[in-house]
Chains A and B, each alone.
Chain A
Amino acid sequence: MAVSEAPAAVAEPGTVRHQAVVFVLMVAAFAVAPFVVYPVFLMKALCFALFACAFNLLIGYGGLLSFGHAAYLGAAGYLSAHAAKVWGWPPELAILTGTLGAAALGVVIGALAIRRQGIYFAMITLALAQMLYFFFLQAPFTGGEDGIQGVPRGTLLGVIDLRQTLPLYFTVLAIFLAGFLLIYRTIHSPFGQVLKAIRENEPRALSLGYAADQYKLIAFVLSAGLSGLAGSTKAIVFQLASLTDVHWTMSGEVVLMTLLGGLGTVFGPVVGAVIVVTLETYLAQLGAWVTVVQGGIFVVCVLAFRRGVVGELARLLRKPL
């Protein structure tokens, strides 16, 4: 049964036009922001926004709650950090390595998890993610509690010096937009429509001849790969890959971001990610209040605000966002 209650985005011409307007506004906001707000904070928000969008692809449009999505974020981070630091690869190759690694992981975990539904699907993803956590804890190349430190930022494509803040920022923005557009394209393609059909009523989709499992697996791998893209980029920006990114609390955070922003909306995860990252950064002085606020947001969202910020906004405007 589908968790998402957001209105499915119907491909009307009016829809695309106003979503394009919102998209342009979003790009403009992010393009101007680094001159006003601390850029490293913005880059963190962008990486998590991509992570949340990738997660939303799976739950909002595929109806599959993965409770172990941190595995892809973290694994990609480690792979990319290792490639950049130990093998000395340039950043674009390091990020690519991380992304492909996460996608491969997605194939393995997805193939195992897809065979079950609902809560059991979520539990398998959680179990496999935990196994991966303990693997990373023990494996020497990850540095355990220390993490992989001192990851070089390098020079992108031999031309753009990523040690300078602005070039790095715009690179990250470009990566985020590429991922975002890929997800958007996927949602509004025939593949996306079949995925939504499967989410709404799998037996009927099956009876129409669609191989539901294959569609679900492809969505899973896409989601994992893009989460990996977010993780690899994050490792290069922060020059550090650590256990925090594979811990199950990170899996919980991405659920929070997506739920708060709006499950099954296009822009929801971005909004949710920005809000959560802002909260964490500015409440950090207050210590554990961050966890309390996060928990509170979960409770409020589930009880009274299930459509999330963008979902409610979309309902007010009567247009899918």
Chain B
Amino acid sequence: MLKFWLLTVAVALGLGVAPAAQAQISDGVVKLGVLTDMSSLYADLSGQGSVIAARLAVEDFGAAKKGMKVEIISADHQNKADVGSGIARQWLDAEKVDAILDTPNSAVALAVNQVVKDKGKAFLVSGAASSDLTGKACSPNTVHWTYDTWALANGTGSAIVKTGGDTWFFLTSDYAFGHALERDTEAVVIKNGGKVLGKVRHPLNTADFSSFLLQAQSSKAKIIGLANAGGDTTNAIKQAAEFGIVKGGQNLAGLLVFITDVHALGLPTAQGLIFTEAFYWDLNDKTRAFAKRFAELDRGIHPTMIHAGVYAATLHYLKAVEALKSDDGTKVIAKMKEMPTDDPLFGKGTIRADGRKLHPMYLFEVKKPSESKAPWDYYKLRATTPADQAFRPIDQGDCPLVKK
């Protein structure tokens, strides 16, 4: 009889203690919200694939085995800052979301960055590019994974100028990302002794580039820099072929190109394009294994660097939550910066005080059709920039978090 009661008390105490440990994780659940573009020009390079990547990360972290409850929800921000920040606000205020992931489109990301900071939660950016996220808009609640406009400009811009492309004309997407990419690339071009002969801004999601391409043609610049992404980049490249731009002696420089863009263009049109990326599925065995699992879940599409970034950031976030036993946004981000990162896709790396994740950046060239042995076998590696040189030096960003 006594043994029975002792056992009961022990069990009751045991049950009582466990929830107490969990009680520091708000509501007992770590809730992640993937805020992305599900239906517009960035849907393929981010979109549903980002949700899949987040799920794979939660699986690989082993949340179930560790007794941690992790939930993932997602929403479409439609590339509008007001829709995105409205969803973020609702998620953080009313739906107990602890961390927001991905967010392609720098205008939306900057707006969400503000909301997350005000509410003290966590923001793990993989999709957006503006280097302002670790610059003047840096925040103790944000980690910027994957890539940014400075890294792209530094990788692609300098490589092209050094091989003789020293006069540029920019075709820029008219919002935060395009402006940042144009600004950072222009700085690199000029630093390397090149000249910018002109620029033209086009609205986001433009169907017809004919008049912009004509302006680029008449500038006679050797390089037409495409400071845009997704559907805008592929449209511009296709229409440039119509107007005989490459035949006329000018070259197109895609400043932000994803493997899904190359897939949409096809190798005959895309061959020879040179650009910088943070990840390629065929780099090593670990990335190949991930790509296989991802492709099975995403209709055969192989992961882009954004998908890889969502996976890695989620994994590291969950490790930090586990170590801290709390999902308080500001504290977890601080812990993420403290802990060195290690994941199968980016290898070992660190997160700086300004929120910038550091890892090597790669310069790729698109293979010729004859060089490609299988679907999605599209890139050859031309150069690797080590992590400590790939991103803007921490003191040049005007980030208020960085002590001078």
Contact = CB atoms under 8 A, between A and B. Distances in A.
Interface in B71-106: 75-76, 80-83, 85-87, 89-90, 93-94, 106
Interface residues on B, range: 20 to 34
Contacts of A244: 80, 82-83
A242 B82 contact: yes
Contacts of A23: none
Nearest to B176: A146
A281 B82 CA distance: 13
A20 interface: no
A240 B111 contact: yes
A311 B94 CA distance: 34
Contacts of B111: 146-147, 149, 240
Contact of A145 (B75, B83, B176): B176
A82 to B, nearest CB: 16
Contacts of B81: 145-147, 149, 240, 242
B226 interface: no
B89 A285 contact: no
A287 B85 contact: no
A38 B203 CA distance: 35
Interface string A276-305: 000001001101100000000000000000
Contacts of B38: 287
A240 B107 CA distance: 11
A147 B83 CA distance: 12
A147 B204 CA distance: 14
B322 interface: no
A144 interface: yes
Given A287-B39, A287-B76, A145 B90 contact: no
A238 B111 CA distance: 11
Nearest to A40: B89
A88 interface: no
Contacts of A147: 81-82, 107, 111
Nearest to B74: A285
A149 B114 contact: yes
A198 to B, nearest CB: 37
A137 B176 CA distance: 13
A288 B39 contact: yes
Contact of B174 (A38, A40, A41, A144): A144
Contacts of B175: 144-146
A209 to B, nearest CB: 48
Contacts of A242: 80-82
Contacts of A145: 81, 107, 174-176, 203-204
Given A144-B174, A144-B175, A145-B174, A38 B82 contact: no
Interface in A200-256: 238-240, 242, 244-245
A288 B83 CA distance: 13
A118 interface: no
A167 interface: no
Contacts of B174: 144-145
A145 B110 CA distance: 12
A76 to B, nearest CB: 15
A242 B203 CA distance: 15
A293 B188 CA distance: 49
Contact of A41 (B80, B90, B114): B90
Nearest to A163: B118
Contacts of B80: 242, 244
Interface in A178-201: none
Interface in B106-132: 106-107, 110-111, 114
Given A147-B107, A149-B114, A239-B114, A38 B85 contact: no
A316 B32 CA distance: 49
A242 B110 CA distance: 13
Interface of B: 38-39, 75-76, 80-83, 85-87, 89-90, 93-94, 106-107, 110-111, 114, 174-176, 203-204
Interface of A: 38, 40-41, 44, 137, 144-147, 149-150, 238-240, 242, 244-245, 281, 284-285, 287-288
26 contacts: A38-B93, A144-B174, A145-B81, A145-B175, A146-B107, A146-B110, A146-B111, A146-B175, A147-B82, A147-B107, A149-B110, A149-B111, A149-B114, A150-B114, A238-B82, A238-B85, A238-B86, A240-B81, A240-B85, A240-B111, A242-B80, A244-B80, A245-B82, A281-B90, A284-B75, A287-B76
